[in-house]
Amino acid sequence: MIYVSGRVGREPWQHAFVAQPSEVAQLRRMLRIRLILWGLSDHVDAAQICVSELVTNVIRHVGEGTPTTLRMTLSESCLRLEVEDPDARALPTLLAAGTALESGRGMALVDAVTDHRWGVILRSNSKVVWCELAAGASVTGGRANGPRVTRAEAILDLYGSWPLPQGRAVVEGGSLLSTAAGEEAAIGVMADVLHWLSAHGYDPDDVLDRAQTHFEAELGESV
């Protein structure tokens, strides 16, 4: 995985996962948060559609349980999304959106959303299906700092040095967020909070949705 040291920037981001229907909602949520932090809230809906269809193609035509990687990069002119899987033979097919056939309709939707900006890269043991959304002047700066960010950094520093009996690695020597392990620690914090919520009878998905609503509202007030 590609990490951003310290605060979230606009460096290339990727996420390795196992392709299955239950993973799609999580990917959409991660993508939404990342794009908001990148100042691309206007691109969330289109990007979510593209990723949903590309991952669904992997599930249908390569198979559930396929090791898959989602990559996202941002340049001055476009937001690029890539989905890589290990089957170079099952290529995406573009059919008219109104066709009676199920196969190919997803790529027709991607084709429409991206204004025909998509393609396939074949490699020796994998394929990458990519698409691009125009970005350019719509990219705005996100809030880089603030009391909540400072508090989160303090939590992550403490979290990284807290010994756990499960044998979790402890980061030694200096601030956790000064290393590439910062994002991993953040994921660990959130995962542990979700375990706590589940143990106390709460629905983690419902709490995540509410937290995301708060986050987006506060982010909107700061820009």
Q: Please identify, in words, the CATH class of the domain defined by 13-138.
A: alpha beta
The boundaries of every CATH 3.30.565.10 domain in the chain are 13-138
Residue 170 tokens, joined:
């402890």
Residue from 121, 116, 18 nearest 68 by CA: 18
Query: Would you put residue 173 in left (φ > 0), alpha (ψ -120 to 50) or beta?
Result: left
Please name the residue ranges forming H helices in 74-131. Answer: 105-113
Asked if 180 contacts 156 with a C-beta cutoff of 8 angstroms, the reply is no
pLDDT (tens place) for every residue of the chain, 223 residues total: 333 333 345 788 899 999 999 999 889 988 888 887 787 888 999 999 999 999 999 999 999 999 999 999 998 889 999 999 999 888 887 654 444 444 456 788 898 999 889 999 999 899 999 999 998 655 544 444 456 555 665 665 666 555 555 444 444 444 444 445 667 777 777 777 777 777 778 787 888 888 888 888 877 666 5
Asked if 136 contacts 76 with a C-beta cutoff of 8 angstroms, the reply is yes
Residue from 25, 6, 27 nearest 15 by CA: 27
